[in-house]
């Protein structure tokens, strides 16, 4: 079951409705409760005043309407007796000689609490003050409903008795649109999920604005936000409602419905309260919201642990933007950050020469493209980019040709230096059999290349541009004091999966056909350090992903491990769900074990990485983003993978 991982399945239901027909509306609400229960929804929210309809106007003052609301609540309570899910339904309730617009929270046949609307609109087409009192006008903390005293007020938090982090608060429609929404305080005081029962009409441009305000509030409060608005079956006397339903988590849209549906509809998704709490505990600004701490009454709920499988989707490439339009702008922004970071370093040092080792692989190609852009920014002669290709024992004609093409087409200065003789002499000096292709054989080549680059930098009064990426740093897939070292590492916070998209973006937008063709060829080349001799056909036989696992999996592991502090077994569950078409559970488990072990045992390589620009939310720089003992044990994390 998934509750132990922090998952709660929340739902937003927009039922079919007849204005002021409480009997019909109650049947539809119960139908949706049963529908949600079949889908293992644990908390279900309905729109504002769903029992009566939002647009009853002066009918709200009719005794028959208000009396039948009580009967409706009895029916809804009875319908939930044996289900276990929590239901939040909008209803007008009469107490203290006033009528309140409320959210009624029901579970297991009982009303647990009632939250009245605080901010009552009184403008344009909305004249709610004509009928409803504000929560601040309420004098009592409890009201009698169906012969039972029920907690009443905006100071209610509903907490799971087993996991206190599964906690929700409620605000109603206009409450979100004011300067200081109740959810600001609700979340600071423990709510990880906010439910909003709303009735928001449609006018031009309002849909996007509504989504923006929900998205931003979710991000600002580091919460899940479930928004449910009245549907198109409301009265269209003066306005039209669309029935928008949204589920956001920390600013990310998890689910939305199709608006303007005359039939009842339901959306649902799991929200991850562990992920939210991890973000909150790292956010000092969030914790310092002292003025928002208040006294709240905690209402105990019991969230079922009945979810067997995830329904929410995770990106297979979480570092890569999801839609094509955003990919273009993001790629442009990343290249700007990298290249302006390098340009500033060049200006600060007061040089005009950089040295870069270019192999024709993904990492060095991106670093070279960044250097080209930095020189364009500074209006420097690209001939001062000294691109050094250093063929070794495993260099293929494919990567060699691609490197030569890039250097020539961009007008950098080519310097070709074979490292074979130097490495063989080094093997002789240290007594290494050159036929033994072990770690010494491989790392000697990487260190020889770094020595060449550093010495040329001294000769030319320049700096060496590092090419290693974030994925390699996480896995320790770099030679200590070899490709691990430079004066400025432009790819330090770029994972392998994102590097591919950045190179593809440059290829797609290039007007030079040779550059375009070369970059596409680089994208199709197997990832390899090319440190072992080629096979008899002259092809690469050392494939990185056969050793450390597919970078798509490793980047997925790294993202959820570093960004949200997810435990390995939870990552395994997420990856199993996400990559079910590509990998078996055992394959994912094996690669995750490799990742955890390599991540911990290679921290010493990250403790001294060179400067480089942070691009996304994740970086392994020891100077800010990731500080970890180099000799920390990985056993607890490793054993968690079951």
Whether domain 324-639 has CATH 3.40.50.460: the reply is: no
Which residues, at least 6 apart from 254, have a Cβ–Cβ distance to it below 8 Å?
247, 248, 269, 271, 312
Q: Element (H or E) spanning 123, and its range?
A: strand 122-123
Per-residue pLDDT at 125: 66
Question: Which residue of the set 3, 117, 274, 415 is catalytic?
Answer: 117
Query: Does the structure show a pLDDT above 80 at 197?
Result: yes
| Mean pLDDT in residue range 197-210 | 94
Query: Does the structure show a pLDDT above 90 at 324?
Result: no
Per-residue pLDDT at 124: 66
Per-residue pLDDT at 638: 96
Question: Which residue of the set 45, 173, 331, 478 is catalytic?
Answer: 173
Query: Does the structure show a pLDDT above 90 at 193?
Result: yes
CATH 3.40.50.620 residue ranges in the chain?
324-639
488 beta partners: 465
Question: Which residue of the set 3, 45, 48, 174 is catalytic?
Answer: 48
DSSP string computed for 273-314 = HHHHHHHHHH-HHHHT-GGG----EEEEE-------S--S--
| Mean pLDDT in residue range 155-183 | 96
Share of the chain above pLDDT 90, in %: 92
| Mean pLDDT in residue range 286-312 | 89
Is 117 labeled as catalytic in the residue annotation? yes
Using 50, 70 and 90 to split pLDDT, how confident is the model at 218? very high
Q: Please state the φ and ψ torsions of residue 74, each to the nearest 5 degrees.
A: -60, -45
Over the stretch 4-46, which tens digit does the pLDDT of each residue have?
999 999 999 999 999 999 999 999 999 999 999 999 999 999 9
Q: For the whole model, what pTM was predicted?
A: 0.93
* Mean pLDDT of the chain, nearest integer: 95
Per-residue pLDDT at 257: 96
Dmax of the chain from CA atoms? 100
Query: Does the structure show a pLDDT above 70 at 392?
Result: yes
| Mean pLDDT in residue range 162-177 | 96
Burial class (CB in 10 A: 0-12, 13-18, 19+), 309: exposed
| Residue 234 and residue 56 in contact, taking contact as beta carbons nearer than 8 Å | no
| Residue 371 and residue 380 in contact, taking contact as beta carbons nearer than 8 Å | no
Give the Cα separation of 1 and 410 in Å (integer): 56
| Mean pLDDT in residue range 83-107 | 97
Per-residue pLDDT at 539: 77
Per-residue pLDDT at 284: 80
Q: DSSP code of 3?
A: G
Over the stretch 416-442, which tens digit does the pLDDT of each residue have?
999 999 999 999 999 999 999 999 999
Q: Which of 187-201, 240-254, 319-333 has the lowest mean pLDDT?
A: 319-333
Q: DSSP code of 152?
A: B
Under CATH, which number does the domain 7-301 receive? 3.60.110.10
Query: Does the structure show a pLDDT above 90 at 59?
Result: yes
CATH 3.60.110.10 residue ranges in the chain?
7-301
| Residue 552 and residue 588 in contact, taking contact as beta carbons nearer than 8 Å | no
- Collapsing DSSP to helix, strand or coil, 83 comes out as coil
Using 50, 70 and 90 to split pLDDT, how confident is the model at 123? confident
| Mean pLDDT in residue range 334-346 | 98
Query: Does the structure show a pLDDT above 70 at 281?
Result: yes
Which residues, at least 6 apart from 151, have a Cβ–Cβ distance to it below 8 Å?
112, 113, 114, 141, 142, 297, 299
């Amino acid at each position: 079951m998934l509750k132990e991982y922090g998952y709660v399945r929340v739902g937003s239901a927009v039922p079919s409705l007849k204005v002021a027909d409480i009997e019909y509306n109650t049947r539809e609400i119960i139908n949706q409760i049963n529908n949600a229960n079949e889908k293992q929804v644990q908390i279900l929210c309905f729109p504002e005043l769903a029992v009566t309809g939002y647009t009853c106007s002066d009918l709200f003052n009719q005794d028959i309407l208000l009396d039948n609301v009580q009967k409706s609540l009895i029916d809804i309570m009875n319908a939930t007796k044996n289900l276990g899910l929590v239901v939040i339904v909008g209803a007008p309730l009469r107490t203290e000689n006033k009528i309140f617009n409320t959210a009624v929270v029901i579970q297991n046949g009982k009303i647990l609490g009632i939250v009245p609307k605080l901010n009552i609109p009184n403008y344009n087409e909305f004249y709610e003050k004509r009928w409803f009192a504000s929560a601040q006008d309420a004098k009592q903390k409890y009201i009698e409903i169906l012969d039972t005293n029920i907690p009443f007020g905006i100071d209610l938090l509903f907490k799971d008795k087993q996991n206190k982090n599964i906690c929700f608060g409620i605000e109603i429609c206009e409450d979100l649109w004011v300067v200081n929404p109740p959810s600001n305080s609700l979340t600071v005081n423990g709510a990880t999920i906010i439910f909003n029962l709303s009735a928001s009409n449609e006018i031009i441009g309002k849909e996007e604005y509504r989504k923006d305000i929900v998205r931003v509030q979710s991000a600002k409060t580091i919460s899940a936000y479930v928004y449910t608005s009245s549907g198109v079956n409301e009265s269209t006397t003066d306005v039209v409602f669309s029935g928008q339903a949204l589920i956001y988590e920390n600013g990310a849209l998890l689910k939305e419905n199709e608006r303007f549906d005359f039939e009842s509809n339901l959306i649902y998704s799991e929200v991850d309260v562990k992920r939210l709490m991890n973000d909150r505990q790292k956010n000092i600004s969030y914790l310092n919201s002292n003025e928002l701490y208040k006294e709240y009454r905690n209402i105990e709920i019991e969230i079922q642990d009945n979810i067997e499988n995830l329904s929410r989707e995770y990106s297979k490439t979480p570092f890569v933007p999801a839609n094509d339009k955003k990919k273009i702008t993001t790629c442009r922004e990343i290249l700007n950050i990298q290249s302006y970071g390098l340009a500033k370093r060049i200006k600060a040092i007061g040089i005009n020469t950089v040295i870069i080792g270019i192999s024709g692989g993904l990492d060095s190609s991106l670093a070279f493209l960044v250097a080209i852009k930095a020189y364009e920014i500074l209006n420097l002669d690209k001939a001062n980019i000294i691109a050094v290709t250093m063929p070794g024992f495993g260099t293929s004609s494919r990567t060699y040709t691609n490197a030569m093409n890039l250097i020539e087409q961009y007008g950098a200065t080519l310097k070709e230096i074979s490292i074979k003789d130097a490495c063989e002499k080094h093997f002789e000096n240290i007594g290494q059999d050159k036929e033994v292709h072990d770690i010494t054989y491989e790392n000697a080549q990487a260190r020889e290349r770094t020595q060449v680059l550093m010495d040329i930098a001294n000769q030319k009064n320049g700096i060496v541009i590092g090419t290693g990426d974030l994925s390699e740093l996480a896995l320790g897939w770099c030679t200590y004091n070899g490709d691990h070292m430079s004066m400025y590492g432009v790819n330090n916070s770029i994972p392998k999966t994102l590097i591919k998209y950045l190179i593809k973006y440059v290829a797609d937008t290039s007007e030079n056909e040779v550059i375009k063709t070369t970059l596409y060829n680089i994208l199709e080349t197997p990832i390899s350090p090319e440190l072992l001799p080629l096979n008899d056909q002259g092809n690469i036989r050392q494939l990185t992903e056969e050793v450390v696992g597919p970078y798509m999996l490793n980047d997925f592991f790294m993202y959820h491990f570093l960004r949200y502090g997810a435990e390995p077994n939870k990552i395994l569950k997420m990856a199993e769900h996400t990559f079910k078409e590509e990998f078996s559970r055992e394959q994912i488990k094996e690669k995750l074990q490799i990742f955890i072990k390599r991540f911990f045992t290679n921290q010493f390589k990250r403790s001294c990485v060179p400067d480089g620009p942070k691009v996304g939310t994740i970086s392994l720089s020891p100077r800010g983003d990731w500080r970890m003992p180099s000799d920390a044990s990985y056993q607890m994390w490793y054993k968690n993978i079951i």
